Amino acid sequence: MTLLAAAGLGARALGTGVPGGGPIVQHLTLWLGFLGALAAAREGRLLNLATTEYLREGSRARRVLAVVAGTVGAAVAALLAVACWQLMRAERESGAEIALGIPVWVGQAVMPVALAGVAIRLAWRADARWGGRLAAATGVVVGLVLALGPGAIEGAPAWIGIAVVVAGTLAGGPLFAALGGVALWLFLVDGTPIAAVPADAYRLAVHPTLPSIPLFTLAGYFLAEGRSAARLLELFRALVGWLPGGSAIVVVVLCAFFTTFTGGSGVTILALGVLLHQALIADGYRERFSLGLITSSGSLGLLFPPAVPLIFYGIVANAPIPELFRGGLIPGLVAVAATAAFGVVEGRRAAARLRFSPARLGAALAAAKWELSLPVLVVTLLFSGWATVVEAAAAAALWAAVVQVAIHREVPLRRIPGVLLDATILVGGVLLILCAALGLTSWLVDAQVPLHLLDWAQANLASKWAFLLALNLLLILVGCLMDIFSAIAVVVPLIAPLGAAFGIDPIHLGIVFIANLELGFLTPPVGVNLFLASYRFEKPMLTVTRSVLPFLALRLAIVLLITYVPFLTLALLDR
What would the pLDDT profile of 232-246 be if each residue is shown by its tens digit?
888 888 888 777 788
Q: According to the model, what pLDDT value does residue 333 have?
A: 95
Q: With beta carbons less than 8 A apart as the criterion, state whether 133 and 123 touch.
A: yes
Instruction: Name the region of 56 (left: φ>0; alpha: ψ -120 to 50; beta: rest).
Output: beta
What would the pLDDT profile of 427-440 be if each residue is shown by its tens digit?
888 788 877 888 88
279 falls in which pLDDT band (50, 70, 90)? confident
pLDDT over 70 for what percent of the chain? Answer: 95
Q: With beta carbons less than 8 A apart as the criterion, state whether 483 and 433 touch.
A: yes
What would the pLDDT profile of 533-567 be if each residue is shown by its tens digit?
776 777 877 888 889 999 999 999 999 999 999 99
Q: Which helix (H) or strand (E) holds 414?
A: none
What would the pLDDT profile of 321-347 be if each residue is shown by its tens digit?
889 999 999 999 999 999 999 888 887
Residues 6+ apart with CB under 8 A from 400: 218, 219, 220, 222, 223, 374
Q: According to the model, what pLDDT value does residue 512 have?
A: 94
Residue 271 has pLDDT above 80, yes or no: no
CA dihedral 87, 88, 92, 98 (to 10 degrees): 110
Sequence-separated contacts (24+) of 158-161 with Cβ below 8 Å: 158/185, 158/186, 158/189, 161/185, 161/186, 161/188, 161/189
Q: According to the model, what pLDDT value does residue 50 have?
A: 65
Q: According to the model, what pLDDT value does residue 560 have?
A: 94
Q: According to the model, what pLDDT value does residue 350 have?
A: 61
398 falls in which pLDDT band (50, 70, 90)? very high
Q: According to the model, what pLDDT value does residue 135 have?
A: 93
> What is the pTM (predicted TM-score) of this model?
0.83
What would the pLDDT profile of 448-504 be if each residue is shown by its tens digit?
888 888 888 888 887 888 888 888 888 887 877 677 777 888 888 888 888 988 999
Cα separation of 261 and 216, whole Å? 6
What would the pLDDT profile of 24-78 be if each residue is shown by its tens digit?
998 999 999 999 999 999 988 887 766 666 677 778 888 999 999 999 999 999 9
**Can the peptide bond before residue 306 be classed as cis, meaning omega within 30 degrees of 0?**
yes
Q: According to the model, what pLDDT value does residue 22 have?
A: 85
CA dihedral 312, 317, 322, 326 (to 10 degrees): -100
524 falls in which pLDDT band (50, 70, 90)? confident
Q: According to the model, what pLDDT value does residue 449 have?
A: 84
Residue 17 has pLDDT above 80, yes or no: no
DSSP assignment of 139-189 equals: HHHHHHHHHH-GGGGTT--HHHHHHHHHHHHHTT-BHHHHHHHHHHHHHHH
111 falls in which pLDDT band (50, 70, 90)? very high
Q: CA separation (Å) from 211 to 109, 328, 381, 428, 559?
A: 19, 21, 16, 12, 29
